[in-house]
Structures are given as C-alpha cells and as structure tokens.
Amino acid sequence: MSGQFFFSLLNPVVTAMLATTFLLLWRKRPDQTYLAILSLSFFACGLAFVANDFMQPFDSPLSRIVANVFFLAATVGACIGALLRAKVAVPVRFFALVCGLCAVGFCWFLFVSPSTEARIYVVNAAYVVIGSASALALIRARPSSGLDWTFVVLMVCLISLGIIRPFAALMDNLDTYGGGTLRYSAYWATVQAATPALAIAVGIAFLVALAERMNDELRLEADRDFLTGLLNRRGFHKGVQLALAGNRFRTIRPAVIMVDIDNFKRINDEFGHAVGDDVIAAIALVLMKHGEAELTARTGGEEFTLFYRTGTNEDLLERAEDIRLAVSQTRFAGIHGECPVTVSLGLYSGARHDTISEMMAAADQALYEAKRSGKDRAVMGSDAPFPGDASLDRRQFRQSSTG
C-alpha cells in the first residue's frame, strides 16, 4: 500500500516541479506568454492526478469530472504553448468545440448511460483530435530546425497514446476495471507510468527552445549597435556575406552607399556628446526610412553603410538624394540653425565579383571625394581600388578634416 501511495505521488511531484520552473521562467520573461500557459498546463496535470488518486470517494462523479477537466486542460495548454512558441495561430474555436463535444460525451456516459470504457474512448478521442490539429498546424508552419520537428514528434506521441491505450482496452488487452475500480486497473497504471516521461520530455523540449531563443537574442544583440539599433560592422559583414553567398553566380550587381555626418566634431564640441548621440540616432532613423536598403549599419562613429542586393547608378543616386533631402528637413534637438546637420555620401554599384571589402573601399573613396569637394553631396565611385589604398586615404583624410 505504501508503494502504491508513493507511486501515486510521482506525477503530482513531477508536474509541480515543471509548473514551478516555467512559472519562474515566465516571471523573468513575461513577453513569452507560452511559458505561463505551460506552467498552468503542468499544474492542471498534477491536479488531475491528485483528483484521481486522492479525492474521496475516488469513484464519485465529481472526482471523475474534475480529473478529466484538468487532464483536458493540461493537454490543450501544452498544444497551445507549442503553437505560440512557433508563432502559429491557435485554433481557439476548434479547440473549444472539441472540448465541448468531449464534455457532452463524457457526461452522457457518466450519468445517462454509465460506461467507463466509453468515457475512456471519448476523452482519448479529444486528445487525438487536438493533438492532430496542433501537429498539422506546426507542419504547415514549415519547421526549419530539428527542435521545431521535436514538437511535432511530441504531438505524434500524444496522438499515439490516445490511440494505443483505448485500442488495447477495446481488445481486452488492457484491463480498465481491475480490483473493482479504475484506480487499480492496468489502464490507469499505464497512464501513471507514461505521463511523467511525456511531461519531462515536453518540459525539456520547451526549455531547450527557450535556451535557443535566448542564444539567438544574444547573437542578435552582439550584431547590433546599441545607440541606433542598426547593425554594427560585424553584423553588417555577416549579413552581406550571406546575401552574396545566396548569389553565387552573381547574376545581379550589389551596391553600397556610405554616409558620413558632416562637421560632426564641431557638433560634439559645441553642443556636447549627448546631442551628438541624438544626431547619430536621428540620422539612423532617416536612413532606415529613406534608404530602402537590404542592410543598414553603423560602421563607424558617425559613419553608416547601406547595402543593396542590386542597384544601378541611377538607383543609388536617387536613394542618396532622398536621404540628403530628408536629413536637411530633419529638426535635431539641441542644434540651432547656424550649425545645420548635413551628410556626405559615397556610392558604388559593384562589379559582379566584387567582395564587400572592395565595394566599401570604392564607396569610401567616393565619400572622401564628396567631403573634399564641399560636403553635403553624393559622389558616385568608379572601379573598386585595392582596399588597403582606400583605407589609407581615409585615415589621411580623417587626420586632416574636422568631420
């Protein structure tokens, strides 16, 4: 009897630990709603086992209703959590309809035409339908990783349990009324044994998914500029390399625009670095809105680079003029009219086999010419020079210019 008692405690303890874990994670990450739903799901699962194994009298209609309501809530919650994690629309009405039909069937075979086996078939049919709908929704979302497919596999496990156990009971291979009650039957023993394994598998899958999401966020943060939210130099080069790798045969001509804020040293000296930061952030917004680039990055202190998967000279000149005019019409907080904020732009439409370093070197050389010829203008670059030469020119220009 003592062994049976501790065996009955296994599922409530396991599910309580999982529920607490996901509740604490949700409090740390309140934007991840599915964590709260999972916590409630595991909590409901534990209450279902408590109702089935510890509510007295065990065979009362109330204990059966309470236990199965919590089991159904746990199943639906786990499926909703998987869908929300994958950013798939939850079929709320369909789930509600299935739960409603399940409730009607369960009550019919509890009060009108009492049958333990029939109730088992009704409840497991609901699990199969809900699990199948969730699995199909996840598959339609085109899983892109092994982890995404793991959730599909877990749905298949739920579906399999919902089919195999009732089928075994139907074929009299699984006793549903051992010892005169479901509590001591072989059927209930399989439920007690299988649920911890499935619950732990589900919990681990969601924990791994959360860890992967956090890792992706850290990688994204490492590739972003804190002040502007744009890509930094590292993120920009990674993004361009991916774009160029997808165009191995170079059937198109990539292009870049380099943008530099004119007289930025004067802005910092006269108005302070805080105003200078505001100007950089404002210019970044202009570039995101008017640059229409594939990738936009802050690649230097007051320097930005825009990458286009393809762009002719005419396209780049049009984009550059839009940017220049937008900057001239922008009002910068803390900057008076005697110190207008302008930008110089260097443009380069790449040859088919130029590397990103060669394209940036050519655009940088054009930017140098725009600065030298009066600023507040765009200059189209010619053939890409050797990157080291352009870098040297740029350094020399930086030393001899105030911005």
Higher pLDDT, 144 or 84: 84
Instruction: Judge contact between 364 and 390, C-beta under 8 A.
Output: yes
352-365 tens-digit pLDDT:
678 888 899 999 99
Q: For a pLDDT cut of 90, what percent of the chain falls above it? A: 63
Q: Are 342 and 375 in contact (CB under 8 A)?
A: yes
Is the model's pLDDT at 244 over the cut of 90?
A: no
Averaged pLDDT of the chain: 87
108, part of any domain = yes
**Mean pLDDT in residue range 104-108:** 96
Report yes or no on 345 lying in a domain.
Answer: yes
pLDDT band per the 50, 70, 90 thresholds, residue 310 = confident
Domain extent, residue 141, equals: 2-219
What pLDDT, on the 0 to 100 scale, is given for residue 186? 84
**CA distance linking residue 298 with residue 65, whole number of Å:** 61
Answer whether 159's CB lies under 8 Å from 128's CB.
yes
| CATH number of the domain that residue 318 is part of | 3.30.70.270
| Interval 189-214: pLDDT, tens | 888 888 888 999 999 999 999 998 88
The per-residue pLDDT for 159 is: 95
Predicted confidence (pLDDT) per residue in 31-53, tens digit? 999 999 999 999 999 999 888 88
Confidence of residue 399 (pLDDT cuts 50, 70, 90): very low
Pair (272, 137) in one structural domain: no
Note whether 305 and 360 are within 8 A (CB).
yes
Same structural domain, 245 and 307 = yes
Answer whether 0.85 is exceeded by the pTM. no
Q: Which long-range contacts (CB under 8 A, 24 or more apart) does 44-48 make?
A: 44/70, 44/71, 44/73, 44/74, 44/77, 45/11, 45/15, 45/70, 45/71, 45/74, 45/195, 45/199, 46/11, 46/12, 46/13, 46/14, 46/15, 46/16, 46/19, 47/12, 48/74
User: What would the two tokens of residue 390 be?
Assistant: 């352009």
Angle, vertex CA 75, rays to CA 144 and CA 17, nearest 5 = 90
If you average pLDDT over residues 71-77, what whole number do you get?
96
CATH assignment of the domain containing 27: 1.20.1070
**How many CA atoms does the CB half-sphere of 320 hold within 13 Å?**
32
- Quote the pLDDT of residue 94: 97
Token reading at 124 = 């497991």
Over range 254-258, report the average pLDDT: 94
Final residue in a domain of this structure, among 219, 242, 275: 219
Give 145's pLDDT tier (boundaries 50, 70, 90).
confident
Q: Point out the domain boundary residue: 195, 219, 243.
A: 219
Examine the domain organization and report whether 148 and 170 are in the same domain.
yes
Residues 246-269 as b or e (16 or more Cβ within 10 Å = b): eeeeeeebbbbbbbbbbbbeebbe
pLDDT of residue 121: 95
Query: What integer is the mean pLDDT of 138-157?
Result: 93
**What per-residue confidence (pLDDT) applies to 139?**
96
Q: pLDDT band for position 273 (50/70/90)?
A: very high
343 has which bridge partners? 261
* pLDDT at residue 246 in the model: 63
What digits encode the pLDDT tens for the residues 156-185? Answer: 999 999 999 999 988 888 888 766 677 778
pLDDT over 90 (residue 294): yes
pLDDT of 220 strictly over 80: no
Residues 121 and 252 in one domain: no
Same structural domain, 101 and 149: yes
Q: CA 167 to CA 189: how far, in whole Å? A: 16
66 neighbors 37 (Cβ within 8 angstroms)? no
Residue 325 in any domain: the answer is yes
